[in-house]
Amino acid sequence: MGKRAVLPGVDPKALASLRGRARRIINRLRQLYPDSKCSLNYDSPLQLLIATILSAQCTDKRVNKVTPELFRAYPTAAALADADVLDIEELIKTTGFFRSKAKSIVKCCKRLMDLHGGEVPRTIEELVELGGVGRKTANVVLGNAFGIASGVVVDTHVGRISRLLGFTERTDPVQVERDLASIIPKKDWVEFPHLMIWHGREVCIARFPRCSECGIARMCPSRLRDQNRDQNRD
C-alpha cells in the first residue's frame, strides 16, 4: 500500500471532512488509551511473526500462554524449520486450528532459512511469500517489530469499528485497508489498529457496546443515527 491514496468515489470535501474527523478520533483515543500497544508478547521479529500466525481465530491472551514454551523449545528459525510438525501441534493445540498453524510455522521458517538466512525480512512483498503470512500478519510484523508503516492492520475490531465510524462500508479486509489508508495519516497507520482494538475490547464491544460510556460517541455517526431514531420514536 505504501502511501495515502485517494478514496475512490468520494467528494474531495467529504474526504477532507473524513480525514479531519479521523484525526480528532485518533487524538481522543490516545487520551483514553495512552498505553495501547500490540497485545502479543515477543522479544524478536521472529517471535512476533510466529505469535501473529498463531493469533488467527484465537485471542492474544491465549497465544501469550503457549508461546513461552514454544520459544524455549524452538528459539530460532532454524530450530522451527527442523521441528517435527507433531511436536509443534502439541505445544500450540489450545490456539485452535493447530494442525494448519503448525504446518504454516514450519513452512514459514523453512522459507526464512532458504531465502533470508533465518532473518525476518523488512518488506511486505518478501513477508507474504512466506508460508501462512498474509497482509495482516505482514503489517503487524513490519509495524511493531520494525516501525515500518506498510499498511493498516485490519482485524475484526478494526473493520467493525471503522464501519461504525463511517470510515468504510466494506467488509473485505483488503478493501477496508485501502479505505483506511486513504483517510488515516500514514504516521498513524501502526498506532491506529491498537487504538481500535483496545476500544473494541473495552467499550465498543460487538455484542453489547457501551455507547453511553464511549469517549468518541459524539464523533460516531452510528451513535448519532441511533439517537435520532430513538428521538423520532418518542
Burial level of 118, CB count in 10 A (0-12/13-18/19+)? middle
> Which entry of 155, 186, 188, 234 is annotated as an active-site residue?
155
C-alpha to C-alpha distance for 223 and 84, rounded to whole angstroms: 51
- Please say whether the beta carbons of 71 and 47 come within 8 A: yes
User: In b/e form, how buried is each residue of 182-197, taking b as 16+ CB within 10 angstroms?
Assistant: bbbeeebbbbbbbbbb
C-alpha to C-alpha distance for 91 and 98, rounded to whole angstroms: 9
Catalytic annotation present for 136: yes
The residue with cell 501502526 is 190
C-alpha to C-alpha distance for 127 and 149, rounded to whole angstroms: 14
> Which entry of 136, 172, 179, 186 is annotated as an active-site residue?
136
Catalytic annotation present for 186: no
C-alpha to C-alpha distance for 162 and 173, rounded to whole angstroms: 11
Candidates 40, 44, 65; CA nearest to 53 is: 40
User: In b/e form, how buried is each residue of 31-46, taking b as 16+ CB within 10 angstroms?
Assistant: eebeebebbbebeebb
**Active site residues per annotation:** 136, 155
